[in-house]
Structure 1
Amino acid sequence: MPSLIHDVVAPGTLAGRPQPTLPAVGGLTIRPWAERDAPAVLTAFQDPAIHQWHARSADSTAETTAWIEEWRTAWWEERNAFWAVADADTDELLGRVALRCIELADGTAEIAYWTLPKARGRGVAARAVTALTRWAFDEIGIHRLELTHATGNQASCRVANKTGFALEGTKRSAALHADGWHDMHLHARIQGDPAPVLAGRPS
């Protein structure tokens, strides 16, 4: 049965190219994950704040090395795309930014991120989200990006607001964390929404 609607983004748009490295303002680099990042990822997942808002924990560098391999494979499968957020000068890992639940045919994906404790309060997450959003819209042709977070996660809500993701509503009891079910705020940006201006020197 022929479809009346064409694919918003053609299959193979991601898998047909290497995962790129993206610049972000404020001296950040958004780059593909490397095996050398495994110890820093292990450190990140010992952090109580990351435990509070994420479903996974890590016990060894062997485990986080396996995660990194999964994250790299996901690019070629066009279902998720994960990047390390690093200092452009030192390559020190500061966090992660990702496109999850990618549906190329529908032109949709979900933005996700975390930062290490030493990177918080510096606008790292906001600058990484802004750079990845621009790339998803301008280079890939994604039409709609969603961003969800637990209603109690005020830091994540600030990132969403700073990066132009409009609050669209609350999804009741939508995510299970270690401490139980959480209501989730749903934010989104679509093609044509005004882009925020973030301070910081170009990377």
Structure 2
Amino acid sequence: MPYLVPPHIPPGRLADSAQPALAADDDLLLRPWQCADAPSVVAAFSDPAIQRWHMRRADSEDEARGWIEQWQEAWRGETAAHWAVVRPRGAGDGTGEVLGRISLRSLIPEGGQAECAYWVLPAARGRGVAPRAVSALARWAFDEIGFERLELDHSVLNEASCRVAAKTGFALEGTRRHSQLHSDGWHDMHLHARLRGDDAKG
């Protein structure tokens, strides 16, 4: 049964090329995950705040390496795209300290949509890492790949994520009641979105 509308982003737009590194600022780079990053993933998912909002933990570096391999495979399958947010060590080599993670999940290339998600390690919080990473990723998704809509959702109790959304031009569209089960029960979730052509703000 043929579709009446062609895919907004043609199949292979991501998978046919290597996942790029994305510059956010002079002191911030988004680069593909490497298996050597496993200790940083374990540290992140041992943090109570990250566990609270992401509902997972990594019990070993082997488990974390398995996640990283899944993140790498997601690019090739065009189902998601995951980056480590790092402080570059040298002239663009991107091998420096891991500060956080940012990703496009729930990719629907044919519909031009994806969901933005992120976390920041405790030592890097309060330095604008998340807003700068979100802004860099959105620029790439809209300008280089051609996405039309990016969504960002978070628990209504997660005020920090709400501030990131506001700083980066993701408009609040509504509240999904009892939308996600956390360890302390059901949470209402704020739904934010940014369209190609919207004000970037941050």
TM-score norm. by structure 1 comes to 0.95
Alpha-carbon deviation of 1:55? Answer: 1.9
Q: Is the 8 A contact 1:27 1:89 kept in 2?
A: no
Q: Decide which of 141, 149, 174 is 2:146's aligned counterpart.
A: 141
1:159 equivalent among 152, 155, 164: 164
Q: Bigger relative contact order, structure 1 or 2, given CA contacts below 8 A and separation 6+?
A: 1
Q: 1:25 Cα deviation (Å)? A: 1.8
Q: CA RMSD in A?
A: 1.0
Aligned to 2:4: 4
For residues 29-108 of structure 1, what are the structure 2 equivalents within 5 Å? Answer: 29-89=29-89, 91-108=96-113
Q: 1:178 aligns with which of 177, 183, 187?
A: 183
**Structure 1: distance between partners of 2:200 and 2:14:** 23
Contact 1:26–1:127 (CA<8 Å) still a contact in 2?
no
CA shift digits 1:81-140 (9 cap, x unpaired) = 100000023710000000000000000000000000011110000000000000000010
Is the partner of 2:178 in helix, strand or coil?
strand
Shift of residue 2, structure 1, vs aligned partner = 2.8
Q: CA deviation at 1:143?
A: 0.4
Moved over 6 A (4+): none
Gap runs ≥5 in structure 1: 198-203
User: Are the counterparts in 2 of residues 148 and 186 from structure 1 also a CA contact under 8 Å?
Assistant: yes
1:200 corresponds to which residue? none
Equivalent residue letter for 2:2: P
> What is the percent sequence identity of the aligned residues?
58
Give 1:58's aligned amino acid.
Answer: A
